[in-house]
């Protein structure tokens, strides 16, 4: 419509072009706002999934759940879980799991009288 109005010099052309451009600006602004809202919803959903994963990990790290088991319990794919971890934590899901086990091993070595072998056995390593 803008191109057609521009090509055909008629009475009120400038006013019509100005109005059409204003409509286009409003439409683009609305579309941008909607897309931004969708991105926020996606990020919020991703954060929710990540919180569920971290909670699961806290309760199940001694059981050595695989990434697939965590993802299945959450109702998402392993690839999606891994992508979320990378996007929100800059680490893979496996790195997060390994770090949790390492943290527990450090705690046991520092705050208990267990030997390295006993800590390893208690964590299933």
Q: What is the band of 3 on the pLDDT scale with cuts at 50, 70, 90?
A: confident
Phi, psi (5° rounding) for residue 48?
-60, -45
Confidence of residue 85 (pLDDT cuts 50, 70, 90): very high
- pLDDT confidence tier of residue 24, bands split at 50, 70 and 90: confident
The answer to whether residue 55 scores a pLDDT higher than 80 is yes
pTM here is 0.63
Q: What's the pLDDT at 36? A: 63
Cα gap 60→125, rounded to integer Å:
15
Say yes or no to pLDDT of 59 above 80.
yes
Q: Is pLDDT above 60 for 42? A: no
Distance in angstroms (rounded) separating the CA atoms of residues 62 and 57: 9
> CA dist 97 to 77, 86, 102, 106, Å?
17, 13, 9, 14
Q: In percent, how much of the chain has pLDDT > 90?
A: 46
Model pLDDT, residue 96: 95
């Amino acid at each position: 419509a803008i191109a057609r109005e521009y090509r055909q010099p008629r009475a009120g052309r400038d006013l019509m072009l100005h109005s059409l451009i204003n409509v286009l600006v409003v439409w683009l602004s609305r579309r941008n706002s909607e897309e931004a809202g969708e991105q926020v919803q996606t990020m919020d959903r991703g954060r929710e999934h990540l919180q569920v994963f971290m909670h699961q990990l806290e309760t199940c790290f001694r059981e050595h759940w695989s990434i697939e088991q965590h993802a299945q319990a959450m109702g998402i794919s392993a690839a999606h879980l891994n992508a979320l971890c990378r996007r929100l934590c800059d680490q893979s899901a496996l790195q997060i799991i390994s770090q949790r086990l390492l943290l527990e091993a450090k705690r046991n070595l520092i705050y208990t009288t267990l030997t390295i072998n006993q800590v390893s056995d208690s964590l299933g390593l």
